[in-house]
């Protein structure tokens, strides 16, 4: 039966064999007719037993496939026990292993570079150099450049994953860390072996992999000179560490080591570090089309890596244009490829209030429409999706300005009908509502930080309100004092609810720096390039997002080069006060139709600045190496489904000017 067609089998009718006790119960089929009275003869019981026996015998003899439609198995339906899991157990797996070994033998017999146009072209494009394939550049990479470097390692699609822990932890903690790494490996397996998935390849369990390894060693013949990666061994020192900003993301990756030539060894202090190593491993892999093998060049190869800054973020604005959850997922996927670890989610603004708040349910009446809303379950899903990729989600509830949408459901929050923001500082209900909103969000966003805004407060709206002016006079306040009062109360609410740090835009420092606790407050710089240095002199923790430094991605006159040229620490001393930075994708003029090409690949430029050592990034920019590698990374993003715009675009999200490959556009 053709795959995808469902066979409808007409079931046999029910036969009522109960003793007759009223009107006759009859049941008919196309071929025979029986009634309850048919069993009134002396041999009725024997006849019934005979019919029942024949029915059972027929069911046992007819193949199961007669009743069920044929279907090709999905990749992850391979039976790990060797029983029928959709692939007929070991025989199907053996066939696939044999086919893969034949590819490997043919590749080696032909010679790694002998008449291979694919490898020659890749070599001329610099794609066989491991460092040209990685973005952001690791802290240290050493690879083979001698005779052995001509032979790439081959990554087996049947490679198995092992996860071990250096420090004993509870079973629940170890299971959680192992699950995080395993699910991540499964995602990367689909990326690395994307072409194989068309043939229904899959990773296998230890028993199958052990069998394959022994067969490969004995049967490969001339391929014995080639390193075949058949195991990915992840060793985590501290499985108990939880995801948050500042978690150790360092890792070591070795391939083709003499002691373990067939193993990709990942050593990390935490499971998050292991995720970063898997990303690097995936970028080192290259599909060789002539042989249909996944290759890794430069083996033996070692990487030692750690990020320069602990906060490497992207701001998305879902209040100016709503972004469906699936679009946010795609953003998170792309961020993980660039090793970014913070999604700053600007949830609400003057234009819309799309997030559910059960404590004050009328707030999301300020959404653009009934369909453009996020439930708390949606938000939880985003947080979990991000965590699975080693990304922390920080919500921003901007107050007291940028808040017109709040009053759609609760007009009492408006200072006056003609002046709808900032929120009414004189009304105690305003702070009751803010506490309710933050309480609702705390059940979803369980990290240590929240952003409470504080920018662009237009004080004249309060001054022009007779009621609010009277309240300020009673409390001896000028409008600027009222802003201070408002901000101090909101920060106190956030800390009371369990957030350890509040992030505010730099205007709070400009207005009342003396009220800001340097331990619990982080200042985000976005206006003056010079002002961040003055904030550092006072000892504040800082984030860089400067619009004049090119880190506002809604500026269409800013290309990747401008983003990369701006080092976030250029005016900060000591650099240790700089937590990191964020590129900001404000949403006034971008929506799902052009969101990704507006962000990428420019965000990748900031990602490398925040991950790689400054001296290296400066040199890579000057030599042109950064641009060449960014072309390669942009191609990788495209292959993985990210609509990254051409690197050479004068206007970031515009279309390519001419036909051509992604490496030259």
Question: Which class for 611: exposed (0-12), middle (13-18), buried (19 or more C-beta within 10 A)?
Answer: buried
With a CB cutoff of 8 Å and minimum separation 6, the contacts of 369 are: none
Identify whether residues 340 and 367 lie together within a single domain: yes
pLDDT at 220 over 50: no
Give CA–CA dist 204/347, Å, rounded. Answer: 42
Kindly list the distances between the CA atom of residue 146 and the CA atoms of 128, 149, 150, 151, 303, in Å, as whole numbers in the listed order: 13, 5, 8, 10, 18
CATH of the domain at 241: 3.30.379.10
With a CB cutoff of 8 Å and minimum separation 6, the contacts of 251 are: 266, 267, 268, 273, 274, 276, 277, 280, 303, 305, 306
Structure tokens at 504: 């505010």
136 upstream amide cis, omega within 30 of 0: yes
H or E element at residue 636: helix 625-639
Nearest to 232, CA basis, from 202, 207, 267:
267
Kindly list the distances between the CA atom of residue 89 and the CA atoms of 93, 94, 402, in Å, as whole numbers in the listed order: 7, 9, 61
Structure tokens at 416: 């006056």
Identify whether residues 45 and 177 lie together within a single domain: no
Other CB atoms within a 10 A radius of the CB of residue 403 amount to: 25
- DSSP annotation of 89 reads T
Structure tokens at 78: 């391979």
Identify whether residues 61 and 135 lie together within a single domain: no
Give CA–CA dist 487/467, Å, rounded. Answer: 20
Identify whether residues 456 and 351 lie together within a single domain: yes
Query: First-to-last CA distance in the chain?
Result: 47
Dihedral of CA atoms 164, 169, 171, 177 in degrees, nearest 10, equals: -50
Tell me which residue has tokens 């305003």: 430
H or E element at residue 90: helix 90-110
Identify whether residues 407 and 298 lie together within a single domain: no
Asked if residue 286 lies in contact with residue 134, where contact means CB atoms within 8 angstroms, the answer is no
Determine the angle formed by the axes of helices 206-219 and 90-110, rounding to 10 degrees.
40
pLDDT at 568 over 90: yes
Three-class SS of residue 12? Answer: coil
Give CA–CA dist 104/101, Å, rounded. Answer: 5
With a CB cutoff of 8 Å and minimum separation 6, the contacts of 588 are: 317, 320, 321, 554
Identify whether residues 462 and 592 lie together within a single domain: yes
Other CB atoms within a 10 A radius of the CB of residue 571 amount to: 20
pLDDT at 90 over 90: no
Give CA–CA dist 600/98, Å, rounded. Answer: 41
Give CA–CA dist 272/249, Å, rounded. Answer: 6
Asked if residue 218 lies in contact with residue 234, where contact means CB atoms within 8 angstroms, the answer is no
Kindly list the distances between the CA atom of residue 376 and the CA atoms of 266, 373, 445, 527, in Å, as whole numbers in the listed order: 36, 10, 10, 33
Identify whether residues 408 and 541 lie together within a single domain: yes
pLDDT in tens, 432-455: 999 999 999 999 999 999 999 999
With a CB cutoff of 8 Å and minimum separation 6, the contacts of 178 are: 163, 239
Three-class SS of residue 480? Answer: helix
Give CA–CA dist 619/639, Å, rounded. Answer: 28
Query: DSSP per residue over 263-310, as a string?
Result: EEEEEESSHHHHHHHHHHHHHH-EEETTTTEEEE-S-SEEEEE--S-S
Q: Which residues pair with 394 in a beta bridge?
A: 344
Strands (E), 48-111: none
Strands (E), 526-665: 541-544, 578-585
Q: CA-based Rg of the chain, rounded to a whole angstrom?
A: 32
Q: Which range, 24-28, 120-124, 390-394, is most confident?
A: 390-394
pLDDT in tens, 334-390: 999 999 999 999 999 999 999 999 999 999 999 999 999 999 999 999 999 999 999
Nearest to 307, CA basis, from 580, 626, 622:
580
pLDDT in tens, 261-277: 899 999 999 999 999 99
Local confidence band at 15 (pLDDT 50, 70, 90 cut-offs):
very low
Structure tokens at 101: 């070994």
Kindly list the distances between the CA atom of residue 564 and the CA atoms of 264, 379, 536, 651, in Å, as whole numbers in the listed order: 32, 32, 22, 16
Nearest to 256, CA basis, from 275, 284, 276, 235:
284
Local confidence band at 216 (pLDDT 50, 70, 90 cut-offs):
very low
Identify whether residues 153 and 237 lie together within a single domain: yes
Structure tokens at 562: 């401008």
Q: pTM (2 decimals)? A: 0.84
Confidence (pLDDT) at 101? 87
CATH of the domain at 354: 3.20.20.80
Give CA–CA dist 631/279, Å, rounded. Answer: 18
- Domain-ending residue, one of 9, 44, 71: 71
Kindly list the distances between the CA atom of residue 372 and the CA atoms of 353, 368, 408, 597, 617, in Å, as whole numbers in the listed order: 9, 6, 15, 22, 41
pLDDT in tens, 491-540: 999 999 999 999 999 999 999 999 999 999 999 999 988 899 999 999 99
Identify whether residues 535 and 401 lie together within a single domain: yes
Confidence (pLDDT) at 465? 95
Give CA–CA dist 488/454, Å, rounded. Answer: 10
Confidence (pLDDT) at 51? 61
Percent of the chain residues past pLDDT 70, beyond the cut: 80
Confidence (pLDDT) at 651? 87
Confidence (pLDDT) at 80? 31
- Domain-ending residue, one of 34, 50, 71: 71
Give CA–CA dist 93/90, Å, rounded. Answer: 5
Confidence (pLDDT) at 454? 96
Confidence (pLDDT) at 664? 87
Local confidence band at 111 (pLDDT 50, 70, 90 cut-offs):
low
Confidence (pLDDT) at 411? 98
Determine the angle formed by the axes of helices 614-623 and 625-639, rounding to 10 degrees.
100
Give CA–CA dist 432/412, Å, rounded. Answer: 13
- The catalytic site residues sit at 456
Long-range contacts: 352-356, Cβ < 8 Å, 24+? 352/319, 352/320, 352/322, 352/405, 353/319, 353/405, 353/406, 353/408, 353/409, 354/318, 354/319, 354/322, 355/379, 355/441, 356/440
Q: What's the mean pLDDT in 134-146?
A: 90
Q: Which domain, by its residues, includes 171?
A: 79-305
Local confidence band at 56 (pLDDT 50, 70, 90 cut-offs):
low
Instruction: Tell how strand 501-505 and strand 521-525 pair up.
Output: parallel
Q: Please tell me the least confidently modeled range out of 13-17, 104-108, 115-119, 202-206.
A: 13-17
- Domain-ending residue, one of 273, 305, 337: 305
* Total of domains in the chain: 3
pLDDT in tens, 387-413: 999 999 999 999 999 999 999 999 999
3 state SS for 173-227: HHHHHHHHHHHHHHHHHHHHCCCHHHHCCCCCCHHHHHHHHHHHHHHCHHHHHCC
pLDDT at 212 over 60: no
Question: How many residues are listed for the chain in this entry?
Answer: 665
pLDDT in tens, 240-253: 988 999 999 999 99
Identify whether residues 337 and 276 lie together within a single domain: no
Asked if residue 136 lies in contact with residue 341, where contact means CB atoms within 8 angstroms, the answer is no
Identify whether residues 180 and 251 lie together within a single domain: yes
Identify whether residues 343 and 417 lie together within a single domain: yes
């Amino acid at each position: 039966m053709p795959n995808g067609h469902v066979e409808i089998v007409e079931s046999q009718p029910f036969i009522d064999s109960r003793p007759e006790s009223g009107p006759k119960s009859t049941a008919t089929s196309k071929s025979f007719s029986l009634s309850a009275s048919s069993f009134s003869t002396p041999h009725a019981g024997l006849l019934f037993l005979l019919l029942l026996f024949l029915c059972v015998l027929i069911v046992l003899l007819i193949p199961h496939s007669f009743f069920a439609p044929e279907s090709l198995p999905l990749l992850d339906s391979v039976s790990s026990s060797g029983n029928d899991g959709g692939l007929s157990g070991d025989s199907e797996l053996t066939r696939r292993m044999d086919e893969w070994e034949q590819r490997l033998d043919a590749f080696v017999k032909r010679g790694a570079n002998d008449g291979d146009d694919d490898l020659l072209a890749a070599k001329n494009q610099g794609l066989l150099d491991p460092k040209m394939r990685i973005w952001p550049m690791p802290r240290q990479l050493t690879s083979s450049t001698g005779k052995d470097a001509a032979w790439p390692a081959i990554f087996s699609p049947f490679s198995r994953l092992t996860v071990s822990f250096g420090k004993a932890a509870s079973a629940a903690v170890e299971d959680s860390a192992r699950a995080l790494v395993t699910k991540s490996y499964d995602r990367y397996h689909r990326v690395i072996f994307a072409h194989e998935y068309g043939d229904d390849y899959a990773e296998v369990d230890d028993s199958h992999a052990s069998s394959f390894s022994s067969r490969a060693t004995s049967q490969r013949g001339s391929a014995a000179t080639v390193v075949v990666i058949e195991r990915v061994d992840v060793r985590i020192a501290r499985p108990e560490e939880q995801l948050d900003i500042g978690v150790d993301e360092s890792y070591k990756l070795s391939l083709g080591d003499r002691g373990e030539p067939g193993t990709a060894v990942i050593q990390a202090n935490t499971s998050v570090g292991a995720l970063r190593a898997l990303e690097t491993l995936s970028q080192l892999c290259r599909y060789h089309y002539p042989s249909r093998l996944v290759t890794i060049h430069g083996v033996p190869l070692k990487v030692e890596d750690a990020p320069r800054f602990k906060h490497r973020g992207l701001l998305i604005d879902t209040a100016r244009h709503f972004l469906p959850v699936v679009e946010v997922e795609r953003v998170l996927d792309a961020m993980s490829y660039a090793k970014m670890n913070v999604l700053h989610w600007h949830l609400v603004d003057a234009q819309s209030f799309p997030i559910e708040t059960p404590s004050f349910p009328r707030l999301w009446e300020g959404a653009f429409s009934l369909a453009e809303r996020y439930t708390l379950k949606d938000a939880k899903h985003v947080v979990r999706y991000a965590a699975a990729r080693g990304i922390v989600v920080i919500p921003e509830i901007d107050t007291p300005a940028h808040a017109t949408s709040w009053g759609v459901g609760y007009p009492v929050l408006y200072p006056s009908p003609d002046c709808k923001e900032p929120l009414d500082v004189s009304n105690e209900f305003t702070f009751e509502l803010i506490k309710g909103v933050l309480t609702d969000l705390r059940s979803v966003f369980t990290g240590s930080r929240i952003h409470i805004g504080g920018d662009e407060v237009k004080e004249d709206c309060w001054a022009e309100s007779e009621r609010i002016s009277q309240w300020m006079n009673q409390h001896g306040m000028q409008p600027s004092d009222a802003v201070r009062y408002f901000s101090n109360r909101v920060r106190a609410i956030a800390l009371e609810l369990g957030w350890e740090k509040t992030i505010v835009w730099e205007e709070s420092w400009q207005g009342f720096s003396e009220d800001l606790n340097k331990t619990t407050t982080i200042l985000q710089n976005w206006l003056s390039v010079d002002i961040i240095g003055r904030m550092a002199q006072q000892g504040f923790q800082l984030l860089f997002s400067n619009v004049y430094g090119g880190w506002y991605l809604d500026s269409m006159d800013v290309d990747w080069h401008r983003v990369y040229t701006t080092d976030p620490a250029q005016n900060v001393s000591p650099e240790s006060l700089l937590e990191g930075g964020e590129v900001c994708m404000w949403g006034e003029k971008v929506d799902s139709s052009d969101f990704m090409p507006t962000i990428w690949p420019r965000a990748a430029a900031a990602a490398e600045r925040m991950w790689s050592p400054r001296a290296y990034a400066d040199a890579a920019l000057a030599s042109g190496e950064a641009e060449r590698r960014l072309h390669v990374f942009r191609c990788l993003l495209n292959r993985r489904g990210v609509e990254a715009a051409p690197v050479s675009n004068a206007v970031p999200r515009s279309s390519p000017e001419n036909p051509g490959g992604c490496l030259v556009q």
